[in-house]
Amino acid sequence: MKYNLSLTAAALLLLSTIACKEDTKPKAIAFSTTIAQTNDTLLARNYAVAEAAGYSSATKDFSRVNRSYGDMVSYIDKKTAELEKMEDVGGKELKAKELEFLKYEKEMIAPLSAFSTFTNATSKEECMAAANKMFEAANYMSPKLLEINRLLKEYTEKNQVPLVMSAVE
């Protein structure tokens, strides 16, 4: 009888572990999807900001780059706050790396804030210098995204949830 009780206890423990894991799956999916979608969106917005910087440098119409820059900062702040509140469901390192990446993104585009002070009298060289600071910082983006993608893949495998990779591999 003691053997049957131990077997029953082991079976119940196994079932409760499986049930707990199933309960966390929606949170794990939401967490990993949020990170992947955030990075996809940031990548697309980086291209838009870079295009706006080039356009502004050529035309001296700085409204487009200022709008793109403002939208990007707002998006980064929103996603940072959202991610900080999310449960990581066993993805502490992934969450930390993503928050670090969001901070990096904000620092990377910071030189574009200079465009808000530019006028028609601003030289093309000044415009390009501000844009080039951002482009230089962008050189470090790909390795950071590769690391996040690696952690994201490990996270989804560990939690047995679908893998949604960001655009950069």
> What pLDDT score was predicted for residue 13?
36
| Res 5: pLDDT | 42
Q: Mean pLDDT over residues 55-62, rounded?
A: 86
Residue 10: is its pLDDT beyond 90?
no
Tokens of 75: 């998006």
Alpha helices in 60-140 (DSSP H): 63-85, 92-109, 124-138
Residue type, 70: G
The secondary element (H helix, E strand) that includes residue 124 is helix 124-138
**Top-ranked range on mean pLDDT: pick from 1-5, 90-94, 139-143:** 90-94
The Cα–Cα gap between 104 and 97 comes to 10
- The answer on pLDDT for 53 being more than 90 is no
Q: What pLDDT does residue 142 have?
A: 85
Name the one residue in this structure whose structure tokens are 């066993």.
Answer: 90
Please tell me the pTM assigned to this model. 0.78
Kindly tell me if the per-residue pLDDT of 66 is higher than 90. Answer: no
pLDDT score of 74 more than 90: yes
Over range 3-7, report the average pLDDT.
Answer: 44
The overall average pLDDT reported for the chain is 82
The tens digit of pLDDT for each residue in 124-159 reads 888 888 888 888 878 788 889 899 989 999 999 999
Residue 22: the pLDDT is 62
**The predicted structure's pLDDT at residue 85:** 95
13-33 per-position pLDDT tens digit: 343 344 335 678 899 998 998
Would you report the helix, strand and coil content of the chain in percent, each value rounded to 5?
A: 85, 0, 15
State residue 79's pLDDT score.
96
The radius of gyration of the chain's CA atoms, rounded to the nearest angstrom, is 22
Q: What value, to the nearest 5°, has the Cα angle with vertex 156 and ends 23 and 88?
A: 60
d(CA 89, CA 159) in angstroms, rounded, equals 8
CA angle centred on 135, ends 54 and 115, rounded to 5°: 50
